[in-house]
Amino acid sequence: MMIAAALLFVLALGGAGFVLVSGDPATRKRVNSVAKAGGGGRGGRSAEQTAAARRKNVASMLKDIEKNQAAKKEKPTLRRRLEQAGFPKANPMTFWMISGGLGAVTALACLLMGQSLLVTVMGSFAMGFGLPRWVLGFLTARRRKKFTSEFANAIDVIVRSVKSGLPTNEALKIVASESPDPVGSEFRTLIEGLKVGVTLDQGLKRMYDSMPTAEVGFFSIVMAIQSKSGGNLSEALSNLSGVLRDRKRLEGKIKAMSSEAKASAGIIGSLPPAVMGIVYVTTPAYISLLFTERAGNLMLAGCAIWMGTGIAVMRKMINFKH
């Protein structure tokens, strides 16, 4: 009986081993799939594939964003320039009416003063076409500077709000309500668009159109990548805030290093008009020939052209991109 029981036990073990080694294909397939899943989890192969796919997705998104921003580098329209200067409700027709009025008033003043036709045309062109556009560019640059100086603080508010558990839309609302203009106005426009169904990507594109600065472009890229590929939003925005503050410090260093060159350019550029004004006040008969004679008018036109060229060259030399 003992020998028979031992033989039966050996046969049972052999049968079990035969089934495991040469079972049906379905059994072998299930065993192999379980073994592969276990090996992938232990070896981290699936994690590497996921990371590679995520990097590929981020790279493709960056290429799309760069293409969109490159396509938007075309010259903005007058309405867009008015919006960038802080006049979103202004009509381009009003701008042209103001320009035409300034040109007409200048022409009338020149005719009443007895100036020549060339001086009248040049003065009207400068006051009617050049001055309004210069004022518009000055207001746009000042608004961008104010926006850039407060934008890093706004990003810090978003970081603290997200870390405290608030959703992204609520963090944007806090910035829109508490930040000074133009940061607050731009984020209010973004929030109003989100309320009526505009996506975050579309709203950020509109913000970039209204405020085409590198800082807004960085912010749009970070938000787009985070919304599509995931990640820690607070950490990404915190890094962006550090980058913006470093850019601001670099801008301050550049201004300090180029201040001497800017002062020299300002003195050199202001000397000819200042000397001309002093001579006109002291001896008006001596300099009046430049305004009454044709040769004097041509000399004034040449001086204006050369002065403009020199100022443009000096401005190009003292302005640094950062």
pLDDT in tens, 192-202: 888 888 888 88
pLDDT of 99 over the 80 cut: yes
Tell me the mean pLDDT in the region 110-122.
Answer: 83
Per-residue model confidence as pLDDT tens digits over 254-292: 888 888 888 888 888 888 888 888 988 888 888 888 888
Segments making up each domain of the chain, as ranges: 80-318
Q: In this predicted structure, what is the pLDDT of residue 138?
A: 92
Q: Sorting pLDDT into bands at 50, 70 and 90, what band is 14?
A: low
Tell me the mean pLDDT in the region 4-31.
Answer: 54
pLDDT of 19 over the 50 cut: no
pLDDT of 106 over the 80 cut: yes
Q: What is the mean pLDDT of the chain?
A: 79
Q: Which residue has the higher pLDDT, 157 or 35?
A: 157
End-to-end CA distance of the chain: 96
pTM: 0.64
Tell me the mean pLDDT in the region 41-46.
Answer: 49
Q: In this predicted structure, what is the pLDDT of residue 40?
A: 45
Q: In this predicted structure, what is the pLDDT of residue 43?
A: 45
Per-residue model confidence as pLDDT tens digits over 216-260: 888 888 888 877 776 778 888 888 888 888 888 888 888 888 888
Tell me the mean pLDDT in the region 207-212.
Answer: 87
Contact 187, 273 (CB under 8 A): no
Per-residue model confidence as pLDDT tens digits over 133-192: 999 999 999 999 899 888 988 999 999 988 888 888 888 889 888 888 888 889 998 898
